[in-house]
Chains A and B, each alone.
Chain A
Amino acid sequence: MPTQAEVFQKVQTALVDALAVDEADVTPEATIVGDLGAESIDFLDIVFRLEKAFGIEIPRAELFPEDILANAEYVKDGRVMASGISELKKRMPFADLSKFESNPVVQEFANQLTVNDLCRYVGGKVGAN
C-alpha cells in the first residue's frame, strides 16, 4: 500500500512527463490546466501514465464528468445549479470543489482541477495511507 508521499511522487512524474514541465512547477495546489498548461489531449496522456504507474483503470467519467456538465437538469445558462453541484460532489469526492462552487461556470470546470485532486483520486483508488 503506497504512502501519500509515494502517490505524490508518481503523480508528479506523470505530470512532468506528460506536460513537459519542471518538477518544481508541480506543487499540490497547482492547477493542471491553468498552472501546468494541460490541453485536452494531454489528459489522455496523463490518464495513460497514471494507469500505468499505479496499475489502475481510470474510467473517463470519474475524472471528467461530462455527462453532468452537459445535462440540462444540472446546468442552466452555462452555470451548474445546486443539483448539479451535489451530483459533482458525489461523483468526485476526491476533488475540492469549493472554488468552483463560488463561481460554477461550466467552461471553468476543467481549470480548477489541482495536482492535489489527482493525488487524492489516485490515493483513493490504491488505498494509500
Chain B
Amino acid sequence: MRWFWIDRFLEFERAKRAVAIKNISLAEDYLTDYMPGYPVYPQALVVEGLAQTGGLLAGEVNGFRERVVLAKVAKAEFHLLARPGDTLTYEAILEDVKSSGAICRGISRRGDQIQAEVELMFAHLDDRFQGVDLFEPAAFLGMLRQLGVFAVGRKADGSPLDVPPHMLQAVRG
C-alpha cells in the first residue's frame, strides 16, 4: 500500500518548520475495522503523519543524504478523536538537528483546535547499517514532489529549495 499519511505540504522552511495536511477519507480501507460502525482516525496514524512531516523536514537539512528513522516517541498527548471528513493540519518544529539525529515537536490541529501533541526523536542510521537504503532514489524524489516539498519549500533567505544534485543524478542515471 502507499504509506502516505500526509497529503500535501503547505509550508516547508528548511531546518525550522513544516506544515502539512492530512485529509481523512471514509474511503480509507482500515476504517472498516476501526471501528466497526464508528470510523475514527487512529491516533497512531496521527503520530505517523507528524513523523512524516518532521522526518522529511529533518532529512532535508542534509539534502536527504542521511537515512532518517523515527527512533522514539518521547511524548504523545491526544485531545480529541479525528473522523472521516476532517482535515488535520500537522505542524512540525525542528528543535535540534545533530549528526546523530534530530528532535522535533509536532502539533496536530483540526481547524483551530489542538487535536494532538507529540515529541519525536529521529535517528540517522550510522555505519553499523552499511549499504541499507531506505528508499529507491527515483521513487523518493517522486514522493517529495507529489507532496509539494519543492513547490513550497524555502531556504532561510526565502529562496526556493532545490532538488539535491545527488538525487537528480540518481534519477537521470
The interface of chain A, by Cβ under 8 A from chain B, is 17-18, 41-42, 44-45, 47-48, 51-52, 60
SS class of chain B's interface: helix, strand, loop or mixed?
strand
Residue of B71, B100, B103 most packed against chain A (CB within 10 A): B100
In the assembled complex, the Cα of A42 lies from the Cα of B100 at a distance in Å of 13
Interface residues on B, range: 10 to 19
Check A48–B74 contact: CB distance below 8 A.
Answer: no
Which residue on chain B has the smallest CB distance to residue A42? B72
In the assembled complex, the Cα of A45 lies from the Cα of B71 at a distance in Å of 9
Check B98–A44 contact: CB distance below 8 A.
Answer: no
> Which chain B residues in 2-20 approach chain A with CB under 8 Å?
none
Known: A48-B103, A48-B121. A41 touches B96 (CB 8 A): no
Check A41–B72 contact: CB distance below 8 A.
Answer: yes
In the assembled complex, the Cα of A17 lies from the Cα of B72 at a distance in Å of 13
Distance to closest chain B CB from A15 (angstroms) = 13
Check A44–B96 contact: CB distance below 8 A.
Answer: no
Contact of B98 among A41, A48, A60 (CB under 8 A): A48
Which residue on chain A has the smallest CB distance to residue B121? A45
B116 proximity list for chain A (CB < 8 A): none
In the assembled complex, the Cα of A34 lies from the Cα of B123 at a distance in Å of 24
A17 proximity list for chain B (CB < 8 A): 74
A18 proximity list for chain B (CB < 8 A): 74
Which residue on chain B has the smallest CB distance to residue A39? B72
CB of B101 within 8 Å of the partner chain = yes
In the assembled complex, the Cα of A52 lies from the Cα of B101 at a distance in Å of 12
In the assembled complex, the Cα of A85 lies from the Cα of B10 at a distance in Å of 55
B123 proximity list for chain A (CB < 8 A): 41, 44
In the assembled complex, the Cα of A47 lies from the Cα of B98 at a distance in Å of 11
> Which chain B residues in 68-82 approach chain A with CB under 8 Å?
71-72, 74
Distance to closest chain A CB from B159 (angstroms) = 29
In the assembled complex, the Cα of A42 lies from the Cα of B123 at a distance in Å of 11
Check B98–A51 contact: CB distance below 8 A.
Answer: yes
4 more A-B contacts (CB under 8 A) besides A44-B72, A47-B100?
Answer: A17-B74, A44-B123, A48-B96, A48-B100
